[in-house]
């Protein structure tokens, strides 16, 4: 199993390339399709927490540190 941090959406840093899929998204008819990277399976692995005990910045940091892109 491989894991990489993925909450920030920057999958270029993920060493487990099999965990990341590139998906083509079609926009308006006069625009070219856009390719975006997505995690096949995202998993929060941190401890449960009560949002009201933290600031937005603190919750964001907790999510960044504990959300992984996982594949088997």
Question: How far is it, in rounded angstroms, from Cα 60 to Cα 31?
Answer: 33
**For the CA atoms of the chain, what is the radius of gyration?**
15
Q: Quick check: 3 pLDDT over 70?
A: no
| CB within 8 Å of 62: residues ≥ 6 apart | 46, 49, 54
Q: Quick check: 33 pLDDT over 70?
A: yes
Which residues, in sequence order, are bridge partners of residue 18? none
Q: Quick check: 69 pLDDT over 50?
A: yes
DSSP codes of every residue in 9-29: --GGG-S-GGGEEEEEE---T
pLDDT tens for 43-62 read 777 888 888 899 999 988 88
Total count of residues recorded for the chain = 72
Q: Quick check: 5 pLDDT over 80?
A: no
What tokens were used for 57? 């910045």
State the pTM of this model: 0.52
Q: Quick check: 72 pLDDT over 50?
A: no
* Per-domain residue ranges of the chain: 2-71
């Amino acid at each position: 199993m491989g894991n990489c941090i993925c909450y920030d959406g920057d999958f270029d840093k993920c060493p487990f390339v099999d965990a990341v899929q590139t998906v083509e998204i079609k926009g308006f008819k006069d625009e070219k399709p856009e390719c975006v990277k997505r995690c096949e399976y995202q998993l929060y692995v941190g401890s449960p927490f009560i949002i009201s005990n933290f600031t937005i910045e603190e919750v964001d940091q907790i999510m960044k540190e504990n959300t992984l892109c996982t594949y088997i």
